[in-house]
Chains A and B, each alone.
Chain A
Amino acid sequence: MLTTPQPSSAPARPELDFKWPAEGITRAPYRLFTDPEIYQLEQERIFRGRSWNFLCLDVDIPKAGDYRTTTIGETPVIVTRDHDGEVHAMVNRCAHKGALVCLKKQDNVANLTCVYHAWNYGLDGQLKGVAFRNGLRGQGGMPSDFDVAKHRLQPIRTEKFCGMIFGTFSEQVENVEAYLGADMAQFIKRNLDRPLRVLGTHSQTIHNNWKLYAENLRDSYHATLLHTFYTTFKVNRLDMDGGIILSDEKWHHVSFARRAKLQEAAEYSEAKVHSASYESALEGPGLLEAWEEFDDGITHSIQTVFPNMCIQFTLNSLAIRFFAPKGVDKTELFWIYLGYDRDSEEQSQMRIMQSNLTGAAGLVSLEDGCINEFVQRGTRNDPECASFMEMGGRVAESEKNSRATETAVRGFWQGYRGIMGF
């Protein structure tokens, strides 16, 4: 038995006075974006509950002794690789007084040592030694029954999937692949199931509740209305065909655009490389130099994994986005741009140029950095009002033929209500 106290999963507070509107998942009360009590409850029921959380990539900690720090919800987390190549994750909080143990984003260390009183842990988080355990000159020291084996950094269950390391506080949640469901797992394998290479990272502070970004990623309705780069530059988009697939629990989704098949046959059957290049009114058309990477004709996709990550494939620009809640009205959005080990120099260059399309300065999507803040600011004084989301119907179901729908947003709320017990 560990003596380190484990957080209880039972809410230790009186029941929240909150009722979802009778209209169900077509409404999201604005209070969800501003209420600190709901935010706290999410930390407990979602991030410390039955969810898998993206921690980092396997290639972020390639060597024994490598560590990476991140967060699950707002809980600070360490991910390590030990000398057997095993990956461990644990809460970044000393078992003694609760100080952060690792302060850097990443490092390579022999062991984990808390700077406060030099409590020393193995790469698996097990306590190995305590300074002055036997006191000094026969004075002080720990009681004789003190046992290092009974203390450790609070462990987090981990699992690898397609080069990503996920963590959970839950012993009950199924494995990652089952958590994703067959359709979602298959699409992640399409995009990530081969040796990955990080091409660059940055982050963005967005001044809104994390769920507004979660909605925004699933909102295929806004794509061509808010983001007008492609239409402004008359980018010849042959990829109007597309749809949305929801996971069984509706809280993960894939939204994809596919190149129209007729055009594909007529224009792209000969040369493979550059075959996906776009005609446009761009002065610098090198921006959209692209190649067809897959045989399924899908040119753009956004895939969310509940609660707070997404995988984008915008032409050849592959990236993981991870959005970490930093308070009820603040979120840090991380961009991790990826390529494959097998990429040629020419392919890498195309991914590099196409990275201009997304991110904090993304030509296609930079609006998302402010649009959710506009909602936050527009709604914060009216917690009892609610958003209205009936585009494409009132249910959350996959929609194979149209992206003018809010079905995936409703799907998010269906999953959210389930895990929150709302």
Chain B
Amino acid sequence: MSSVIEKRVTPSSDDQYREAAELIAAYGHAMDDGKIDLWPQFFTPSGVYHITTKENQDAGLPIGIMRCVGRGMMIDRVKAFHTANIFEPHSYNHVVGHPTMSYDKATGCVMARSNFQVVRIMESGRMDLFAAGKYLDVIQREGGSLKFRERVVVLDSRNVDILLVVPL
């Protein structure tokens, strides 16, 4: 941790870290509250969202489980969720750990890693541990607020139970 703290070279990076932590928390809360329509707004217009597995990441393989490049593809995902895709109704509960962060002065981006677990709740009342892994984020200021320039979701398991339609 000390190396990360040493990187806090400017007072403003403290604010960046606090804001970045809020962005990470707000994202999980939005998903858990079913506000999937807000999802693309958490990203910069050309932001990248990628869900993959640890196995693929370790092997350097480019295809994971979901990949959106740019908000347009995220908006399409949301529309497909509402009107095209068929699945049993369910919701998530994210538990996101405290992020470790560093500040890249050259780009003005915050790099963050946080671990997460997601419980999936079915309408029958059944609850399962659906996903565990880490978020690898590149967070950038856009307009007045921080957004994800890149959010890579690395699942620890290669296996997805049933299907994945709501972004993690």
A337 CB within 8 Å of chain B: yes
Q: Which of A232, A283, A355, A359 contacts B84 (CB 8 A)?
A: A232
Whether A366 pairs with B85 at a CB distance below 8 angstroms is yes
Whether A206 pairs with B56 at a CB distance below 8 angstroms is no
Mask of B40-70 contacts with A, CB within 8 angstroms, 1/0 = 0000000000011101100001111111111
Among B124-168, those with CB < 8 Å from A are 158-165
When distances are taken between beta carbons in the complex, the residues of chain A under 8 Å from B74 are 284
* Known contacts A200-B56, A332-B159; 20 further A-B pairs (Cβ under 8 A): A201-B55, A229-B85, A232-B80, A233-B80, A283-B75, A284-B70, A284-B73, A284-B74, A284-B76, A287-B73, A348-B62, A352-B62, A352-B63, A355-B67, A359-B65, A361-B164, A366-B165, A367-B87, A369-B87, A371-B86
Query: Chain A CB within 10 Å — which of B74, B75, B85 has the most?
Result: B85
Please name the 10 residue pairs, one residue from A and one from B, whose CB atoms are nearest each other, closest first: A200-B63, A284-B73, A369-B163, A284-B72, A283-B72, A232-B84, A360-B160, A361-B164, A200-B61, A361-B66
Whether A198 pairs with B61 at a CB distance below 8 angstroms is yes
When distances are taken between beta carbons in the complex, the residues of chain A under 8 Å from B75 are 283-284
Beta-carbon nearest neighbor of B40 in chain A: A283
Mask of A333-356 contacts with B, CB within 8 angstroms, 1/0 = 000010000000000100111011
Whether A356 pairs with B66 at a CB distance below 8 angstroms is yes
* Given known A-B contacts A200-B64, A202-B56, A226 and B76 have beta carbons under 8 A apart: no
B2 CB within 8 Å of chain A: no
Cα–Cα, bound, A86→B19 (Å): 57
Cα–Cα, bound, A416→B70 (Å): 46
Whether A286 pairs with B158 at a CB distance below 8 angstroms is no
Whether B67 pairs with A352 at a CB distance below 8 angstroms is yes
When distances are taken between beta carbons in the complex, the residues of chain A under 8 Å from B86 are 226, 228, 367, 370-371
Whether A232 pairs with B79 at a CB distance below 8 angstroms is yes
Query: Chain A CB within 10 Å — which of B56, B72, B162 has the most?
Result: B162
Among B62-102, those with CB < 8 Å from A are 62-77, 79-80, 83-88
Q: Which of B71, B84, B160 contacts A205 (CB 8 A)?
A: B160
A204 CB within 8 Å of chain B: yes
Cα–Cα, bound, A228→B82 (Å): 12
| Chain A residues at the B interface, C-beta cutoff of 8 Å | 105, 198-207, 226, 228-229, 231-233, 282-287, 332, 337, 348, 351-353, 355-356, 359-361, 363, 366-367, 369-371, 373
When distances are taken between beta carbons in the complex, the residues of chain A under 8 Å from B64 are 200, 202
Whether B163 pairs with A361 at a CB distance below 8 angstroms is yes
When distances are taken between beta carbons in the complex, the residues of chain B under 8 Å from A226 are 86
Q: Is the interface of A mostly helix, strand, loop or mixed?
A: mixed
Beta-carbon nearest neighbor of B162 in chain A: A369
Q: Which of B76, B85, B161, B164 contacts A283 (CB 8 A)?
A: B76
Whether A353 pairs with B84 at a CB distance below 8 angstroms is no
Whether A361 pairs with B51 at a CB distance below 8 angstroms is yes
When distances are taken between beta carbons in the complex, the residues of chain B under 8 Å from A200 are 52, 56, 61-64
Q: List 14 A-B contacts (CB under 8 A).
A: A200-B61, A201-B55, A228-B84, A228-B86, A229-B85, A233-B80, A233-B84, A282-B72, A282-B76, A284-B72, A337-B63, A360-B164, A370-B87, A370-B163
Whether B73 pairs with A366 at a CB distance below 8 angstroms is no
* Given known A-B contacts A284-B70, A284-B72, A205 and B161 have beta carbons under 8 A apart: yes
When distances are taken between beta carbons in the complex, the residues of chain A under 8 Å from B83 are 228, 232
Whether B162 pairs with A373 at a CB distance below 8 angstroms is yes
Beta-carbon nearest neighbor of B84 in chain A: A232
Beta-carbon nearest neighbor of A231 in chain B: B84
Cα–Cα, bound, A105→B164 (Å): 24
Cα–Cα, bound, A25→B61 (Å): 42
CB distance from B70 to the nearest CB of A (A): 6
Whether A205 pairs with B69 at a CB distance below 8 angstroms is no
Whether A201 pairs with B61 at a CB distance below 8 angstroms is yes
* Given known A-B contacts A233-B76, A363-B80, A370-B87, A199 and B63 have beta carbons under 8 A apart: yes
* Given known A-B contacts A201-B55, A229-B80, A287-B76, A370 and B65 have beta carbons under 8 A apart: no
Cα–Cα, bound, A366→B135 (Å): 23
Q: Which of A205, A207, A355, A366 contacts B63 (CB 8 A)?
A: A355
When distances are taken between beta carbons in the complex, the residues of chain B under 8 Å from A198 are 61
Cα–Cα, bound, A360→B130 (Å): 13
